[in-house]
Amino acid sequence: MAQVRPARGRRSLGLTLVVSEITVLFRRLRTWAMIGALALIPILIAVVVRVSSDGAASGRGPAFLNSITQNGLFVSLTALTVAIPLFLPLTIGVVAGDTIAGEANLGTLRYLLVAPAGRLRLLLVKYAGAALFCFVATLTVVVTGAIIGALLFPVGPVTLLSGDTVGIPGYFVRLLLLALYVTVSLMGLSAIGLFISTLTTIPVGAMAATAALAAVAQILGALPQLEWLHPWLFTNYWLGFGDLLREPIVWTSFADNALLQFGYIAVFGTLAYGRFSTKDILS
């Protein structure tokens, strides 16, 4: 009975926990409610523009809004522009803020750790889940926009910001790139949310704090007095996706954005690990 026995079985890479995380995330009603709400944004825009299509050429309103009546493919772009400042960060705040705090609040965190999931592994898995949600959320806006745009408006080759024209397939490649750009944009915020989530056992608090930070960063980004600070704000390139709509594609903002977001991931990922690896799990 007293012999030394190594732990059972071979250690797998542990991808099953990633699969499990994604399954749990997408089995929650809340996740689908958020995705549904995101899908409503392009639908709402398209329907409103369609119903009142005579007065739309006023030149006011979100970017690309006035192009919709000519080409339904612009619905996706308009919807993204509307969703990026407010609604997307809100949903990411909910998912990223919930990562650790939600499990702590349910008490399931102690059983994951006793399993043992491993604290670093759990953090990585949680982050992967949040990242996937960012992509799905963004894609939801883009795809729903493309569908509703095609249903309500004429579609055809698109004139890019550079004046060149691309066909419909080419345009979809750009939309996909755009979804990637926005997903990358949200990675920094997700890392911040993950860190905040390790600080509390009250998920609503972590969600609110994460979403509030996104708002604060955008307010600071709008103040010209703080110009020196702007390159460091994780929101700095959020609306800088226009470069993807040129011919040829200008990659600098994509690269700058990715570098900035990576910095945020490194800093807040390290902070999250520093906090979580030594945290007493008392819930």
In whole angstroms, what is the distance from residue 121 CA to residue 202 CA?
22
For residue 13, what is the DSSP state?
-
Residue 113 within binding range of another protein, rule CB under 8 A = yes
Contact track, another protein, 259-278, x by CB under 8 A: -------------------x
Least Å distance between CB 33 and another protein? 12
Kindly tell me which of 1 and 51 has the beta carbon lying closer to another protein: 1
Binding string to another protein for residues 68 to 107, with x set by CB under 8 A, is what? --------------------------------------xx
Tell me which of 27, 52, 55, 252 binds another protein, using CB under 8 A.
27
111 in contact with another protein (CB under 8 A):
yes
Specify the amino acid at residue 209: A
Nearest Cα to 21, choosing from 101, 120, 115, 127?
127
Window of 19-27, 163-171, 172-180, 204-212 that interacts with another protein by CB under 8 A: 19-27
- Name, in order, each residue with C-beta under 8 angstroms of 73's C-beta and a sequence gap of 6 or more: 146, 149, 150, 155, 158, 168, 171
DSSP state string for 169-208: HHHHHHHHHHHHHHHHHTHHHHHHHHHHHHT-S-HHHHHH
User: Does 281 contact another protein by CB under 8 A?
Assistant: yes
Q: In the structure, how many helices (H) and strands (E) does the chain have?
A: 10, 2
Question: What crossing angle do the helices spanning 203-222 and 87-106 adopt, rounded to 10°?
Answer: 150
Please pick, from the candidates 44, 48, 115, 226, the single residue that binds another protein as defined by CB under 8 A.
Answer: 115
By CB under 8 A, is residue 20 in contact with another protein? Answer: yes
Find the shortest distance in angstroms from Cβ 12 to another protein. 6
